[in-house]
Amino acid sequence: MNKIKDLYYLRAFGYEFIEQDIYNQTLTNDQKTLYHQVLQCKLCHLSKQKKHAMIEKHIQHKALMIVSDFADKNENESGELLDSKWGEKLKYLLKKYLNLDRKDFYMSYIFKCFNAYKDTSSLQTCIPYWFNEFALVAPKIVLCLGKDTFCHFGFENFTKLRGEIFAFNNSLFMPNFDMDYLVKNPSSEAVFIQDLHKLKGIL
């Protein structure tokens, strides 16, 4: 893991660090301020493809926060998170097995601008926004979709930890498959559904 991933890995397990304005970003307790910071961000080249910021317009507390790495092209065009084929699949599964409507959970992306090539070079500038967002949402549990997303937080051994629930700052954290993986590996959908049932007692 590189240095920044090491720090976030330790932070997730409860270590505290002195906050420094490394990336010229200021953490905020105001939801509207954070939204506009993300909307106006031009700290990296990914902003050139941004039509809409990939952050919910209303940052509010939800028991379940779902995080993935990159948004879909359709989401960038419409400005509506989960406006995609995989987004529809996720909403279908959450409704069917957890009885959750779209308003019942909070969707988030690590990378706040769309990027067709899934360029991760801006991780160090994007992830502080995510941690600020996470602090404002204050979820009971974070459902982390996909191995890549899991690794962006500095974690390792996705195969071993997938479906497990562990402490993450003041919340819980469950890594699992993303929807693209389930489409390509339909036999894994039953495993994903089984893991969703673990969330019922928490939510």
User: Domain containing 182 — which CATH number?
Assistant: 3.40.470.10
On whether residue 21 sits in a domain, the answer given is: no
Number of domains in the chain: 1
Residue 18's pLDDT band (cuts 50, 70, 90): very low
Q: What is the mean pLDDT of residues 174-178?
A: 97
Strand order in the sheet with 171-176: 106-109, 64-68, 141-145, 171-176, 166-168
Q: Which residues of 178-203 are buried (b: 16+ CB within 10 A; e: fewer)?
A: bbebbeeeeeebeebeebbeebeeee
On whether residue 112 sits in a domain, the answer given is: yes
Q: So what's the pLDDT on residue 4?
A: 54
Name the residue range of residue 82's domain: 3-12+27-197
SS3 label, residue 72: coil
On whether residue 185 sits in a domain, the answer given is: yes
Position with higher pLDDT, 121 vs 3: 121
- CB 108 within 8 Å of CB 66: yes
pLDDT at 7 over 80: no
180-200 tens-digit pLDDT: 999 999 999 999 999 999 999
Average pLDDT over the chain reads 88
Q: So what's the pLDDT on residue 177?
A: 98
Q: Which of 199, 111, 116, 122 is nearest to 163 (CA)?
A: 199
132-142 tens-digit pLDDT: 999 999 999 99
On whether residue 19 sits in a domain, the answer given is: no
On whether residue 188 sits in a domain, the answer given is: yes
Q: So what's the pLDDT on residue 49?
A: 83
pLDDT at 97 over 90: yes
> What is the percentage of the chain residues whose pLDDT exceeds 90?
68
C-alpha of 19 from chain center: 21
26-80 tens-digit pLDDT: 578 888 899 999 989 988 888 888 889 899 989 999 999 999 999 999 999 999 9
Task: List for the chain the helix, strand, coil content (%; round to 5).
Answer: 45, 10, 45
Where would I find the H helices in the chain?
3-12, 31-40, 73-78, 85-98, 123-137, 147-152, 158-161, 179-184, 189-197
On whether residue 203 sits in a domain, the answer given is: no
Q: So what's the pLDDT on residue 28?
A: 85
Distance CA 154, CA 196 (A): 23
On whether residue 167 sits in a domain, the answer given is: yes
- CB 109 within 8 Å of CB 86: no
On whether residue 166 sits in a domain, the answer given is: yes
How buried is 121 (Cβ within 10 angstroms: 0-12 exposed, 13-18 middle, 19+ buried)? exposed
Which residues does 181 contact at the CB level (< 8 Å), separation at least 6? 146, 147, 188
103-148 tens-digit pLDDT: 999 999 999 998 888 899 999 989 999 999 999 999 999 999 999 9
Q: So what's the pLDDT on residue 173?
A: 97
- CB 170 within 8 Å of CB 13: no
- Straight-line distance from the first to the last Cα atom of the chain, in angstroms, rounded to the nearest whole number: 32
- pTM here is 0.85
